[in-house]
Amino acid sequence: MSRQRFLLKFSWRNLGRHPLRTVIMALGLAFGTGYIIFALNFSSSASKEIVSEFLAQYFGTHQVVAQGYYPDSDKKKFDANYTLGEDQVKTLPLENYVRRITLPIFLSGPRKTLGTLLTGLSPENELRLSKVSKALSQGRFLAENGHNEILLGEKLARKLGVKLGDEVAIFGQALDGSVANDMFKLVGLMNFGGGDMEENLAFTGLHSARTLAVIPDDRFHQLISFGDFGQPLPPAPADTEVVPWSTILPEIYGSINFIDIFTWIVAVIIVVVISLGMGNTLMITFLEREKEFYSLNVIGARSSWIALSLGIEVIMLGIVGIGAGIIFGNLVTSFFNAVPISLKLFTGGKDIMMGGMAIIPKVRLWHHHQYSWQAPLLVFFFLTLSLIFPIQRIIQRSRRAD
């Protein structure tokens, strides 16, 4: 029998000497590995679901705007004097975008006059691509050919003192420098979960917004996509800029990244705890076999051979435990892919507020295949580290016996 085959058989035999202990250590590795794969898949899937739900309601995954529309220093500000023409964006798949006009205006009702943002939109395209209409709580959505219709958030309507069917006065500045003013009829109320969106936004039809701001029929401010936010950005047509959602909403992008990084930190902490426990258990196991190591020394086995056999023993245990963990983690992920998890389980039944909107997603877990090798490598690395001290002690004691 070759030296390598003997080492493998010897190490495998030793795993069966204390079957209960071996099973417990393997289960610890399996559960830790499986949990890390599940947690990473959950974190990534939850981030994607929450952001997708949030962006689908209003902001979109990216915007095409004229160069100069957003100042380089602050994407929260914009210059309404910069507009796009249909001829500038004809190279883009326009059927996948919605056109919008955005104007800072004042709304006047019986109680008070308030500043807000008026968004002119195409009802047909918004109903097809975005979820703006899902926030409608009372009344109806804008008609495609409606004239001077307006939607207000419930909070904004209460502050203005208006109800469905009432008229509100709008005044601001048109793009030609004249005073923009007109009366608009309130046809619907929007509920964004009580967040800031309910008092910071008003919606009207694209044609009505163009007429109010004196904008030509072939021009608009924003071309907004509601596709998959993970897709690469399209090339920007001449004199335009393609702005991703992460640039427009840096605070939300930063929060999502923080959650993903924090999940990895927790995963590393779990692995370190498991490794410390494994190291302690291995030390006890090796010390219990001290007489066996003395006997091997007597018959001519070197300390390096004993250390190698112990290393192979733990590697075999790791392969079995980590392999079972990979299967376990992916099975749990597959289960929660079929049965989505409601995030209300983690919020006490309350909605999640993000960017002034209430988000109520159910998270469907997806397999992120990189975690099926990254997590096992992490566990295996720390398992290898946990071997160092016990093996050093055994070699030292074996040398004393020599």
Return the pLDDT at 311. Answer: 75
Higher pLDDT, 137 or 363: 137
Task: Considering only CA atoms, give the Rg of the chain.
Answer: 32
Distance between CA 11 and CA 5 in Å, rounded?
Answer: 10
Q: Are residues 283 and 394 in the same domain?
A: yes
Task: Quote the domain boundaries for residue 337.
Answer: 3-55+253-401
Residue 285 has pLDDT above 90, yes or no: no
Lowest-confidence range among 92-101, 288-297, 376-385?
288-297
Q: Identity (one letter) of the amino acid at 391?
A: I
Q: Are residues 21 and 83 in the same domain?
A: no
Distance between CA 221 and CA 228 in Å, rounded?
Answer: 22
Q: Are residues 135 and 160 in the same domain?
A: yes
Q: Are residues 229 and 267 in the same domain?
A: no
Return the pLDDT at 299. Answer: 61
Q: Are residues 361 and 392 in the same domain?
A: yes
Q: Are strands 113-121 and 136-139 parallel, antiparallel or unpaired?
A: unpaired
Q: List the structure tokens of 266.
A: 């927790």
Q: Are residues 334 and 360 in the same domain?
A: yes
End position of a domain, from candidates 223, 246, 269: 246
Q: Is residue 283 helix, strand or coil?
A: helix
Close Cβ partners of 393 (under 8 Å, ≥ 6 residues apart): 283, 286, 287
Q: Are residues 330 and 181 in the same domain?
A: no
Residue 146 has pLDDT above 60, yes or no: yes
Q: Of all residues in the chain, what percent carry a pLDDT higher than 70?
A: 82
**Per-residue b/e over 25-60, b at no fewer than 16 CB within 10 Å?**
bbebbbbbbbbbbbbbbbbbbbbbbbbbbbbbbbbb
Distance between CA 143 and CA 187 in Å, rounded?
Answer: 10
Q: Are residues 170 and 223 in the same domain?
A: yes
Q: Are residues 315 and 223 in the same domain?
A: no
Q: Are residues 241 and 258 in the same domain?
A: no
Q: Identity (one letter) of the amino acid at 398?
A: S
End position of a domain, from candidates 207, 231, 246: 246
Q: Are residues 346 and 259 in the same domain?
A: yes
Q: Are residues 105 and 242 in the same domain?
A: yes
Distance between CA 316 and CA 345 in Å, rounded?
Answer: 39
Distance between CA 174 and CA 214 in Å, rounded?
Answer: 6
End position of a domain, from candidates 227, 246, 265: 246
Count structural domains, the chain. Answer: 2
Return the pLDDT at 391. Answer: 72
CB 16 within 8 A of CB 309: no
Total residue count of the chain as it appears in this document:
402
Return the pLDDT at 395. Answer: 67
Q: What is the mean pLDDT of residues 257-267?
A: 86
The per-residue pLDDT for range 298-337, each reduced to its tens digit, is 565 566 666 677 777 778 888 888 999 999 999 999 998 8
Q: What is the mean pLDDT of residues 34-49?
A: 86
Return the pLDDT at 356. Answer: 56
Q: Diameter of the chain by CA atoms?
A: 102
Distance between CA 4 and CA 117 in Å, rounded?
Answer: 75
Q: Identity (one letter) of the amino acid at 44?
A: S
Mean pLDDT score across all residues of the chain? 82
